[in-house]
Amino acid sequence: MNASLLVKQIPHLFNPIIFVTLRKIIFLKKLIMAELPPCPKCKSIYTYESGPLLSCPECGHEWNAEEEPVEEQVLDEGLVVKDSLGNILKDGDTVVVIKDLPVKGFQKSIKAGTKVKNIRLTYGDHNIDCKVDEFGAMALKSEFVKKA
């Protein structure tokens, strides 16, 4: 390769204007991603707007942003989380842990009888998001708690 050509290319690659523009795009993308709902099909958070529709880059699903809140509500109604006694739990409830629960990365367990306030229900195996004193943010299984 011609040495003088190499010298010419370097200033172009490190052009500060390009860097500023790139940073701006990343910043704007973060802003947009924070406001758009996740893909209803694959739950991707990289949703972007394409005209009047929202688009998912991961599964290619396109949907109308106006209809999305309705779909989300239906999903939420489908989420039923019951405690160890069969009581239906809801967001904001206080629960009590019914058995000692070992926690990865901690020497100690969450002790039976620990009160956990302001739970948030989620899908999945560990279906309660919460904060436990001395442990921080945790995901618990509803079968190991009872409604306070």
- Give the helix ranges, DSSP H, for the chain: 3-13, 16-35, 68-78
Query: Which is closer to Zn ion, CB of 61 or CB of 120?
Result: 61
Query: Which is closer to Zn ion, CB of 32 or CB of 148?
Result: 32
Minimal distance, residue 53 CB to Zn ion, in Å: 13
Query: Which is closer to Zn ion, CB of 54 or CB of 130?
Result: 54
The span from the CA of 28 to the CA of 116, in Å, is: 37
Minimal distance, residue 42 CB to Zn ion, in Å: 3
Query: Which is closer to Zn ion, CB of 44 or CB of 84?
Result: 44
Give me the residues that bind Zn ion (CB under 5 A), please.
39, 41-42, 44, 56, 58-59, 61
- Residue 14's DSSP bridge partners are none
Minimal distance, residue 79 CB to Zn ion, in Å: 20
Minimal distance, residue 71 CB to Zn ion, in Å: 13
Taking alpha carbons only, the member of 32, 35, 90 closest to residue 68 is 35
The residues near 128 (Cβ < 8 Å, ≥ 6 apart) are: 81, 89, 95, 116, 119, 120, 121, 122, 139, 140, 141, 142, 145
Give me the residue label for tokens 């058995």: 99
